[in-house]
Structure 1
Amino acid sequence: MLPIIFTFISFIGIAASSTGAVKYGELQWDPMALISNWDNRACRFFAAFSFALAALGVNISANSLSAANDLTALFPQYVNIRRGQLLCAVLSWALVPWKILASAESFLNFMSAYAVFLGPIAAIMVMDFWVIQQRKYDTLALYQPHSIYRYWHGFNWRAILAFVVGVAPNLPGFINSINANIKVGVGDHPYQFGWLIGFAATSLVYLAVSYAFPARETHIERAISPDEVYDEHGLVEGVAVDDEEGSGEYIEKKGLKGWADRML
């Protein structure tokens, strides 16, 4: 859905800025600068409030929680979700966000650079899940260090190779966007379509390498969901509950209580 969403949002931004240029005589790419031209205070308030709410929601859901999740996975004995969010709030100052937001040009450069790396990552995830593994993941094994997804010494070299190939065409334009004094000629054109080019190139390389050198240990017969529970006897459907005779039969807990037990 990302290409569709990106295209729609880009269209809205271009359309709003273009109409603002016709009405107010100045092309303003900053939405806050655009709504400052409105005479109605209520309109300005609700528009500014919607931007503030969107910024807060995006930073909590897409930045704070995701960073906390990654830090928790890397250092589970030291970091939990709350500590990870606090670390994100502190370390984010190192990115000097006030410089990124200083102008629309610097912000767009930052977002373009961001997409150069996101496109290849998205391609690997999509192709691996939908095509290579055919939607069959052992979800629990993904979080076990010595499972079928360990690949070669803990690295999937196919994904690394495909990522490098997807990022490489965009690097000249990326360097030029950081320092305009470095001339790259026509090398900046791929960067203008960074996400799409990275996604397409990485997809082709990852599929080709994965079919030529398949990781057969990761191909399983059926998907294993997080609701399935492991114990010392192997894979079990449901939760272990001892009956009156102590036979320890495994039965499926139903309702809200069963859902909470499976999730926790």
Structure 2
Amino acid sequence: MTGRPAGPTKVVYRHHPWLGKRVLIMPQPIPAGPSPRLHNEDLAPAEHRRWGFYSLFAMWMSDIHSLGGYTFAAGLFALGLGAWQVFLALVLGIFIVFLLMNLSGYAGQKLGVPYPVLARLSFGVFGANLPALIRALVAIAWYGIQTWLASRAVIVIVLQIWPDLKGLTGNNFLGESTLGWLAFLVVWALQLLLLRNGMDTIRRFQDWAGPAVWVVMGLLVVYILINAGWNVSLDLPGGTAQWGVMQAFFAAVALTVTYFSTLLLNFCDFSRFAPSRRSVWTANLWGLPVNFMAFSVVSVVVTAGTFKVYGQHIYDPVDIVGRINSIWALLLGAVTFAVATLGINVVANFVSPAYDLANVWPAKIDFRRGGLIAAVVALVITPWNLFNSPVVVNQFLGGLGALLGPLFGIIMMDYYVLRRQHVVVADLFREQGYYTYARGWNPKAVLSFLVSAIPAVILALVPVFGAVSAFSWFIGAIIAAAVHFLISRNDRSIADSVTAAIAEDARPTAPQARTA
């Protein structure tokens, strides 16, 4: 396709200064309005920009202050690294995340659109469902798993208050006990309450959920240090560097980036509501390098201190709180870490599939319905059975995760290099426009994805490539970006869309022509 396809036309006249009368310029195409197959209020460019610095910063706190975030830094010692090597790897990795996250964030802030609509640029207005559904599958699976993990804290609370309910933990229905089912359904239902007012309710939840965890972690670190005599060793037990210390170090860097790979794709779901690029940059700086490093250091200090206090390294903060001889400390810790798990679930696994599923059928599925569908699917798949299956977690979810790098590489290459950030936003919602390609699909983006996805999945899953498996996200992203650039750099339709977008941006607000 070259340029926007022809359609109905309008006749444009302009006053000619020499002839002193109106003259016909040329028949001009009338751009079609947004298609109901591509547009609804939730997918449309954001009008209300309420996610300022603090809301985005609190969002990062909710994402990082989770049980997974707590154990991540300590888990890197298993690669065979010492304390200072782990610290340097975390610093380098999180600064790479900061730079890459800004790419996604700036695109969302400028265009005001969520991830599946941004993907229409490169994959086509209908082809964007491919990257959207891949991201949705990953999110829904982890949505269910994180909901179940949060329900474990609820069980701890319930059994402390009503110990007689322990009898409800002995039976088994579809892999879970009666109390387990009840706890899971309670947490599952609580998350649906966040759908009441869409993203605005989520913003208010994130504003206090992330900081609440810092309060409990602060109390916990002081308690551990006091009982350890303010003297702990930060060298946690780990494994051996199977392929050398340098490989282990850069693997730790790569794993830090991969930990954030889901939000590298759909951070624009949040930054689209930011009032300025500066607010995105500032929130990312404080929320990622500063907050992530501080939380990692605190988690390592607490884990290291447990060895001196309890004679063993305890990696679960709920377990640590449970050893404190106080029912109130246990309840406070369990509630806080349940909230923390819900926080990361909402950020990483709830918002994305809500938009991704809405993108499939905008006329019938809005953000709320998309979130409800995702929640129902997460319930039906009985996530505890997924989590307890190494094959599912390592191969199915690991394989899907390896596909996220190629998607990021294609979309960012397309937006920043090929189009130089020039987009005809209205055409993202038209069936006939600059992003229609071939029946709504861009074959070049699909080819770039296939060429890069296959090696990325092989490197991530095949044991013989264990030495480079940690780098599969980077390898997939680099191959995808390079291939997409090589086969698309001379694409006439991209050049036409950039020219049109530049002209549209330069057009004065007051109309220069009259129509008849």
TM-score range, shorter chain: 0.5 to 0.7
Aligned-CA RMSD value: 3.9
Cα distance change of structure 1 residues 31 and 84 upon mapping to structure 2, 3 Å threshold: same
Q: Distance in 1 between matches of 2:415 and 2:444?
A: 14
User: Residue 19 of structure 1 aligns to which amino acid in structure 2?
Assistant: A
Provide the aligned length of Structure 1 versus Structure 2.
221
Deviation string, structure 1 residues 101-139 (Cα, Å, up to 9, x no partner): 448997677764443121111122211111111111112
Q: Percent identity?
A: 25
Q: Distance in 2 between matches of 1:159 and 1:48?
A: 46
2:443 corresponding residue in structure 1: 157
Q: Distance in 2 between matches of 1:106 and 1:38?
A: 36
Question: Does 2:495 correspond to 1:216?
Answer: yes
2:97 corresponding residue in structure 1: 4
1:196 corresponding residue in structure 2: 474
Offset, 1:98: 1.1
- The one of 356, 374, 387 equivalent to 1:70 is 356
Q: Distance in 1 between matches of 2:394 and 2:316?
A: 11
User: Residue 474 of structure 2 aligns to which amino acid in structure 1?
Assistant: L
> TM-score of the superposition, structure 2-length normalised?
0.36
Question: Does 2:423 correspond to 1:137?
Answer: yes
1:123 corresponding residue in structure 2: 409
Q: Distance in 1 between matches of 2:301 and 2:368?
A: 39
User: Residue 211 of structure 1 aligns to which amino acid in structure 2?
Assistant: R
Offset, 1:149: 0.4
Offset, 1:152: 2.5
- The one of 304, 317, 327 equivalent to 1:19 is 304
Q: Distance in 1 between matches of 2:318 and 2:390?
A: 11
Q: Distance in 2 between matches of 1:115 and 1:20?
A: 34
C-alpha contact 1:68 1:82 (8 A) present in aligned 2: yes
* Paired residue secondary structure (2:502): coil
* Paired residue secondary structure (1:147): coil
Deviation string, structure 1 residues 145-195 (Cα, Å, up to 9, x no partner): 22110123322222222222322223235444xxxxxxx42x233322222
Q: Distance in 2 between matches of 1:161 and 1:46?
A: 51
Cα distance change of structure 1 residues 170 and 104 upon mapping to structure 2, 3 Å threshold: same
> TM-score of the superposition, structure 1-length normalised?
0.64
User: Residue 189 of structure 1 aligns to which amino acid in structure 2?
Assistant: A
C-alpha contact 1:135 1:223 (8 A) present in aligned 2: no
Unaligned runs of 5+ in 2: 1-93, 99-255, 258-288, 511-516
User: Residue 479 of structure 2 aligns to which amino acid in structure 1?
Assistant: A
* Larger RCO of the pair (alpha carbons < 8 Å, separation 6+): 2
Larger Rg: 2
